[in-house]
Amino acid sequence: MARIVILGAGIAGHTAARHLNKLVGGKHEIIVVSPNAKWNWIPSNIWVGVGQMKEEEVTFDLAEVYKKTHVKFRQAKAISINPEGDANSTAPFISVESTLPGKVGIQENITYDYLINATGPKLNFGATEGLGPDHGHTVSVCTASHAIEANTKLQATIEALRRGESRTIVIGTGHGMCTCQGAAFEYIYNVDHALREAGVRDKARMVWISNEYELGDFGMGGVHIKRGGYVTNGKTFAESLMVERGIEWITRAHVKKVEAGKIHYEMLDGTFHEQEFDFSMLIPPFAGVGLKAFDKAGEDITAKVFAPNGFMKVDADYTARPYAEWAAKDWPKTYQTPAYSNIFAVGIAFAPPHMISKPMQSTNGTPINPTAPRTGMPSAAMAMAVAMSISDMLNGAKQPTHTASMAEMGAACVASTGAGFFKGTAATMTVFPVVPDFEKYPDYGRDIDLTFGEIGLAGHWMKYLLHHAFIYQAKMKPGWSLIPD
């Protein structure tokens, strides 16, 4: 019997666990290691952050779900990987530190035959002075608990507006190298909707601030979409949404410091500015969680296994060369690490070979550009492919059998405005592929027939129904595998 260890239980890790349980559960041992006791459907944290949903509607207890399966659960934080074993054994292992109440800090080693790194990111609030809910002056919707606090402060803002006071609301990205613009993009529209429902939108100034070169970039180098039978660009699509709702925007900005009520930012042209605020939700930059790696002799080989940003190297082409010389084929397909054939990294845990959006620096040398997104649908697709490859390798395959390149897969984004079933709209956008391929699609880098955007109530219904469908699927209820990931 082989042992498969999965680090992380987010969208990628839990998807891998679900499929491995179905494919090899009972025949081989599956262990999920996560520092969090609960699974969180992160896309719906947006609704928690405006008071439209409660925490229990977007989370559930992992141990309760796994105890009904062949998956074992360890509530612990991974510290390091020894892919060659150590002086006492040739068996590869990970070192973990318990986060279970009553056992916090207790360390143990867990051996493995196959390892899937799905740790997700470290929310790197510390990269910007004064950023974040714990030690800073802004709120977040990156976790359910963050979203609860965001809503508490938002409701206080709404009450102030009801008293006739004016308020400035700033939402966007909190650093020049942020990804996940989509989460902030959706949140600003939900906040706008909440203010309108409360009858106070006219008293609030709303400002979007982002590291994108222009609106609609989303870390994907922009996008051309088919809408209403004609082709338009993401910039026009996004700007129309902002203008219709009276939202101002600041792009090409690196937030360098946040003080109480004041954001300091640098522009791509090298100038420095300030933006005052009363309520602000800024997405932090992401980094690797800080895993270390050691060889059999105990020597540190972290630089061999991980990129400088802490994300794990996989089967991508990381050769340094100018941005214009990168191609779609450089992106990973199997997510197997080059040095160790029994280790894979999926979701945000893998290191992208290059940025999709063009790298840029201010005249002061500060990088200001979105980094590549790899959450949601791409994360699930990677995890499912790796689970099937490991299943086949356990049955004798010599190498991974399934692929999930972001240059060969599409993704859909439904950005809602409010969670009500009869009120609100949603901006629905699909792209194919996520990483543009200008060799295959020379005009726009993507298949324009599969890349489109629409705005309407139908998209809002889709978002609402998908929330319940994915929660049902994640809880592994009867028939879960019939629901597409």
Instruction: Give the pLDDT of residue 450.
Output: 83
Beta bridge partners of 263: 258, 275
**Res. 216: pLDDT tops 90:** no
Instruction: Give the pLDDT of residue 485.
Output: 77
| Alpha-carbon span 84 to 89, nearest angstrom | 9
Buried b (16+ CB within 10 A) or exposed e, 250-273: bbbbbbbebeeeebbbbbbeeeee
Which token pair is 290? 């800080």
**Res. 258: pLDDT tops 70:** yes
Residue closest to 46 by CA, chosen among 346, 376, 409: 376
**Res. 326: pLDDT tops 60:** yes
**Res. 345: pLDDT tops 60:** yes
**What value does the mean pLDDT take over residues 262-277?**
98
Instruction: Give the pLDDT of residue 423.
Output: 65
CA 146-149-152 angle, to 5 degrees, is 155
Question: 374 and 352 in contact (C-beta within 8 Å)?
Answer: yes
Residue closest to 220 by CA, chosen among 354, 67, 40: 354
**Res. 452: pLDDT tops 80:** no
pTM: 0.94
DSSP 216-243: T-TTTT--EEEETTEEEEHHHHHHHHHH
List the 272-276 sheet strands across, edge first. Answer: 253-259, 262-267, 272-276
CA 388-383-41 angle, to 5 degrees, is 140
Considering only residues 210 and 235, tell me which one the structure prediction assigns the higher pLDDT.
210
CA 37-41-42 angle, to 5 degrees, is 100
**Res. 352: pLDDT tops 80:** yes
Question: 328 and 441 in contact (C-beta within 8 Å)?
Answer: no
Which token pair is 196? 């309108």
Instruction: Give the pLDDT of residue 236.
Output: 86
Work out the percent of the chain whose per-residue pLDDT is above 90.
80
**What value does the mean pLDDT take over residues 387-416?**
92
Question: 29 and 2 in contact (C-beta within 8 Å)?
Answer: yes
C-alpha distances out from residue 345 to 105, 213, 291, 339, Å: 25, 30, 12, 13
- What confidence tier does 482 reach under pLDDT thresholds 50, 70, 90? confident
pLDDT in tens, 232-254: 788 888 898 899 999 999 999 99
- What confidence tier does 415 reach under pLDDT thresholds 50, 70, 90? confident
Domains assigned to the chain: 3-123+287-394 (3.50.50.60)
- What confidence tier does 192 reach under pLDDT thresholds 50, 70, 90? very high
- Mean pLDDT for all residues in the chain: 93
pLDDT in tens, 37-52: 999 999 999 999 999 9
**Res. 476: pLDDT tops 90:** yes
| Alpha-carbon span 421 to 464, nearest angstrom | 7
**Res. 330: pLDDT tops 70:** yes
Residue closest to 128 by CA, chosen among 308, 364, 287, 2: 287
pLDDT in tens, 292-302: 999 999 999 99
- What confidence tier does 420 reach under pLDDT thresholds 50, 70, 90? low
**Res. 466: pLDDT tops 60:** yes
**Res. 35: pLDDT tops 80:** yes
**What value does the mean pLDDT take over residues 71-86?**
97
- What confidence tier does 231 reach under pLDDT thresholds 50, 70, 90? confident
What are the φ/ψ torsions at residue 132 (nearest 5 degrees)? 105, 165
Report the residue count for the chain.
Answer: 485
Contacts (Cβ under 8 Å, ≥6 apart) of 164: 203
Q: What is the DSSP code (8-state) at residue 313?
A: P
- What confidence tier does 259 reach under pLDDT thresholds 50, 70, 90? very high
Instruction: Give the pLDDT of residue 459.
Output: 67
Considering only residues 229 and 172, tell me which one the structure prediction assigns the higher pLDDT.
172
Spacing of C-alpha 144 from chain mean position: 14
**Res. 154: pLDDT tops 60:** yes
Strand, coil or helix: 383: helix
SS3 percent helix, strand, coil of the chain, rounded to 5, is 30, 25, 45
Work out the percent of the chain whose per-residue pLDDT is above 70.
97
- What confidence tier does 222 reach under pLDDT thresholds 50, 70, 90? confident
**What value does the mean pLDDT take over residues 97-103?**
95
pLDDT in tens, 128-142: 999 999 999 999 999
**Res. 102: pLDDT tops 60:** yes
Specify the DSSP element, H or E, that contains 208: strand 204-209
What are the φ/ψ torsions at residue 238 (nearest 5 degrees)? -70, -40
Beta bridge partners of 54: none
Which token pair is 331? 């992106």
Strand, coil or helix: 177: coil
E strands, 83-155, are 93-98, 107-111, 114-117, 122-123
E strands, 336-446, are 343-345, 411-416, 426-431
Q: What is the DSSP code (8-state) at residue 42?
A: G
| Alpha-carbon span 8 to 14, nearest angstrom | 8
Instruction: Give the pLDDT of residue 424.
Output: 64
Instruction: Give the pLDDT of residue 307.
Output: 96
Question: 175 and 218 in contact (C-beta within 8 Å)?
Answer: no
**Res. 473: pLDDT tops 70:** yes
Q: Which of 81-90, 192-201, 221-230 has the lowest mean pLDDT?
A: 221-230
Q: According to the per-residue pLDDT averaged within each range, which of 309-323, 370-384, 425-439 is highest?
A: 309-323
Contacts (Cβ under 8 Å, ≥6 apart) of 277: 168, 169, 170, 207, 261, 262, 263
